Structures are given as structure tokens and as C-alpha cells.
Amino acid sequence: MACLQLLLPLMVSCVAASERPPRQLPACQVVQMDVFCSDLSLRSAPVDLPHGVRMLDLSLNQVQNLSQETLAFQNGFHHLNLRANKIHFIQPGLFKDMTDLRVLDLSRNHLNVFAHAKINIGPLTAVESLDLSNNGLYTGMSDYFLADSPSLMDLSLNGNSITKIAHNTFSGSSSLRRISLHNNVILEIEDGAFEFLDHLTELDFSKNSITCITDFNLCNLKVLNLSKNSVEFFHSAASMSLTFGENTLPSLEKLFLQGNDLTTLDHGIFQRLPSIKHLHLQQNDLKICSSENEPQDCVSFSSIPTLQFLNLSENYLMILPANAFANTSLKLLDLSLNPGLEMDKDSLSGLEHTLIHLLLKENNISSLNTDLSSLKSLKHIDLSTNQLTNIPVWSKDSSIESLNLQNNNLVTLKYSSMLALEHSLKTLYMGSNPLSCCSNLDFLQMVQRSAVVVPDIETVTCVHEEYSEPVNIEKVVIALVLLIAMALLVRYCLARKRKHIRSFTA
């Protein structure tokens, strides 16, 4: 009897619980045939998933096993986002019948656990974009996902632990156009690893440990990113680290080599890239060849007619020789962060009608030897954080729209030079300069009457001999406007008074 009394409340509680409706999970959002179930602590797709869903977003959930049941027994998806779950098992052959699936995101899961079982994921019949980044994959593990992916065009393997690219790594993905291997630990690339990828246009090896690349024969490659590796020497001879033969990279347009501490390049390496437009060489230690001397431990940038964008910032450059960029089509040139840079007066010769952007910030320049007024197409120039005491001389043919003079030693902005820019100048930065209030009145008037915008006007100050502290130049401009207005008013009043006296006398 006592036992019955103890069990009775428990039985009543159980019956009540069975009658209570099950706890409802937060509802997914449905927009037409796209279903968004992100960050809802789900272990699978909702069982009442609408029929015919095209896109399913299950990112940031708790999915561990990926199977037909997990996906509510649907296979008509075009886009599956399973990013940032805990997936460590995928039902083999799961995607075989998903003939409409184009985009598959499996990033930030635990697919290294699945790969340990050495089981292929099965055919990715129609998948064109696959993201396997941040899955703890190491060398050889990607093979279990790529072995049968004939339609794959975009592949991301970023943030894994791959150390080697074997010659057959991508043998099952012959349609690849873009491969990203950013932030791995790649030390070795076997010969021929990419040669059968006839459609490959973009290859990203940034932030790896590559020291040597040879035999790159990629006829259609347009973008190659080798930034932040351990590459030390790039030469064209077969015995050296990188082969850029005459026809090995005929379509390459963008080359990223920044952050490699490069000190030596074959001086003519870029002349063998007939389509090159962008060169990113910042954060290295390169020297630019002079056209007069025999090339030695330097690189040549002249006679590259296709070159339009060149970044040489942070290269410890000390000298910019004459005609350094002759016979190029440079539109943007970044020479910033090269303290002590000395520019020959003809260093920018040949860029008169092409150069639009010129960056020379933080170079400790006290005076410019180069005649910038000859650069007729120049629109944007950054001269900030130098030691300039005088601004460059401009002509009325100049097209400068944006001028940055911040953080220099400018006391007077030469009025004639600034007046030459009045018709074109739109934006002017001039803060952190020891400007004189009295010596720049004409310039201040010009700024006041023109459409020039001074974004850092609140930090622009000038020094007046009667004040111990710098004065905000905006207040000076306002005072100047009021002074002019008062002068005009006084002049008007005097004229009226004279007219009144004459009429009274008459």
C-alpha cells in the first residue's frame, strides 16, 4: 500500500507529460523555396520540411551524422549550407542522386574523423562549389571528398593541415577553375599536380610554407597567390626555385608575392608574363634595376606593357632610378613605407599619361625631386607622414582630385601651386602640420570659395604669433568669412553715405 502511494504521483506525472504537446523548436524561416534554419541547435532538418526546397541553411547547428534522415529524405537541393556543425560522419553515396545540387558548404566541421575511416564520400555528380575549409584535414584526406566530382569548379580547402599536394590530388576534379589552399602547412607540390586542370584560372597558396615551385605550366591561370610563404628565390633557370618560362603562364594577370622577405628575383622574371596586370610585392626586400647598369641582385619593371598595378610598399627601397617603369601602363603605383627613399627626377618618366594613383606615404621624404606636374593623368596622390616643408609644384594641366598632405612639416601652402589645382581638387587632407595662420590666408580663401572638401578639418590647426596654442583652422576660415563680410558691409555703408551727402548738397 505504501508503495502504491509512492507510485501514484509518479504515474499521474507521467500521464500528464504524455498528454502535453512536445516542446517546439524555434521555427525556420521559409522564403519562397529557400529554408533558413541557422543557429537553432538542430541535429537535423525539420521533419516537416516543405517539398521541393532549393536551398537549405543548417549552419551553426549541432548536426553530427549527415544522412538521408538528417536531410528529411529530400534530394532536390540546389544549395546546402552545413557550415559550423559537428559533422564527423557522412552516409556514403548520400549526394549521388542529388543531381541538382550545385553548392555544398561543409566548412568548420570534423570531417577529419570521417576521413580516418578511408571511405569515399561518393559521387558529387553536379556539385560546382565545395567548401571543406577548417576541417582538420591533412595530406591525402581530401581525396575521399574529391575522387568523383566531375563538375566541381570552386574548391576551398582553407585552414586545414595539408602539407603536400600530390600529383593525383585533383585527378577526380578535372573541371576545377578556382582552388584555395590558404592557411595550410604546404611544403611540397609534386610535379604535374595541376597540369591536367585545363580550366584552372585561380590558385591561392597564401600563408603556407612553400619554399620552391617549379614547372608551372598553366595556360589559363589568371590569378596566382603565393603571399606569406617562405619563398626566398625566384629564378627562371631550371635548377632554381621557380620556373617562369616563356609560355608557362601566358594568361596570368594577377600575381601576389607579398610577405615573403624576397631579396633576389631574376631581373627579367616579369617580362616573361605577357598578360600580367597586377603585381603585389609589398613586404619584401627588393631592389629596382637601373636601365644604365648591368642587372645584378635587382628586378626590372620596365618594358612590361600590360602592367597596370604595382605595389612595392615596405621593401626597404632606398633608390628609385630613372625610367624605372618606362614602357608600362601603370595606373597605380604604391611606394609607401620605404623610409629614406630617394627618387631620381626621371624615375616616373613614361607614366605621364597613364598613372592615376601614386602613394608615397611614410617615406621620410623632405623634398621631391620628381616633377609630378608632368603626370597629366594623376588624380590621387598620398604624401602623408613625410618631412615635406614645401608642396610639389603643379601646373594648370594637372588633374589632381585627391591630395593627402597629413603629418608633414608644412608651414605655408604655396598659393600659386594650390591655385593651379583649384579647378580639379575635390578632397584635401592637411591635418598635423605646423601651418601658419597668417601665411595661408589666400589659400584659406580659396578653400572657402571652392568645392574642396577637407575631411580632417577638425584636426587641422595653424599657429598664430599672438596665441600660444594652435588655433583650429575652421575657426580661422569662419573668422575670415566674417571679416570679409564686415569689410563689404562697411564699404557698402560708406558708399551709401557718400551718395546721400552728394544728393543733400545738390
Domains and CATH numbers, the chain: 28-191 (3.80.10.10), 210-365 (3.80.10.10), 379-497 (3.80.10.10)
Distance CA(303)–CA(325), nearest Å, equals 7
Residue 293 has what pLDDT? 63
C-alpha 209/C-alpha 213 separation (Å) is: 11
Q: What does the pLDDT read at residue 440?
A: 87
Q: What is the pLDDT of residue 291?
A: 73
Q: Which residues pair with residue 264 across a beta bridge?
A: 233
Q: Are 437 and 464 in contact (CB under 8 A)?
A: yes
Kindly give the parts of the chain with pLDDT less than 70: 1-26, 214-215, 231-245, 292-294, 466-468, 473-506
**Cα 469 off chain centre by:** 41
Q: What is the pLDDT of residue 472?
A: 78
Kind of pairing between the strands at 233-234 and 254-256: unpaired
Instruction: Please report the pLDDT score of residue 482 as a whole number.
Output: 47
8 A C-beta contact, residue 240 and residue 212: no
- What pLDDT does 191 receive? 87
Look up residue 52 and give its three cell numbers: 521541393
The pTM for the full model equals 0.86
The residue assigned the cell 623610409 is: 339
Residue type at position 130? L
Tally: H helices and E strands in the chain: 6, 29
Residue 103, φ and ψ in degrees, nearest 5: -125, 125
Q: Which amino acid is at 279?
A: L
Distance set, CA 455 to CA 70, 76, 403, 406, 443 (Å): 55, 53, 11, 11, 17
Distance CA 313, CA 335 (A): 5
Q: What are phi and psi of 483, to 5 degrees?
A: -65, -45
d(CA 404, CA 401) in angstroms, rounded, equals 10
